[in-house]
Amino acid sequence: MAVGLILDFKGATLEQYDQVVEKMNLGGKTPAGGLFHWATKTDDGIRVTDVWEDRATFDKFAEEQIGPVTQEVGLPAPPQITEYQVHNYLTQ
């Protein structure tokens, strides 16, 4: 079942986020299993909101890609993660 994940990185900047995205070399697309992604600045850091096919796929990607790359660019780790079961999502 698809999951919605909100990742709050307190103390992080959008510049660090941009570095992470660039280093992941995803070509402007979500990784395999990722369905939707957006990021924004918050009052105390950044928030990333994702929809994934399932939590296991996200966890594997986070372990192999997100964790190492966020550490490399100095993002505070780990983020606070809030998970939601997705009832429905629409695409074009």
- Tell me the per-residue pLDDT of 4-20, one tens digit each, with 9 for 90 and over: 999 999 999 999 999 99
- In this structure, what CATH number is given to the domain that contains residue 8? 3.30.70.100
- Please give the sequence-ordered ranges of beta strands (E in DSSP) within 21-79, or none if there are none: 34-42, 45-52
Q: Is residue 91 part of a domain?
A: no
Is residue 21 pLDDT above 90, yes or no?
yes
Is residue 40 pLDDT above 90, yes or no?
yes
Over range 34-38, report the average pLDDT: 95
CB 4 within 8 A of CB 55: no
Peptide bond into 78 cis (omega under 30): yes
Q: Is residue 34 part of a domain?
A: yes
User: What is the model's pLDDT at position 91?
Assistant: 80
Predicted structure pTM score: 0.91
Q: Is residue 74 part of a domain?
A: yes
Range of the domain at 58: 3-85
Q: Is residue 92 part of a domain?
A: no
Q: Is residue 48 part of a domain?
A: yes
More confident residue, 49 or 76: 49
User: What is the model's pLDDT at position 19?
Assistant: 95
Provide the sign of the torsion angle of the four alpha carbons 47, 71, 69, 75, taken in this order. positive
* Identity of the residue numbered 66: I
User: What is the model's pLDDT at position 77?
Assistant: 75
Instruction: Compute φ and ψ for 30, nearest 5 degrees.
Output: -75, 150
- Separation of CA 77 from chain center: 13
Q: Is residue 15 part of a domain?
A: yes
Number of domains in the chain: 1
Is residue 31 pLDDT above 80, yes or no?
yes
Q: Is residue 90 part of a domain?
A: no
Q: Is residue 44 part of a domain?
A: yes
Q: Which of 33, 30, 32, 29 is nearest to 1 (CA)?
A: 33
Is residue 92 pLDDT above 80, yes or no?
no
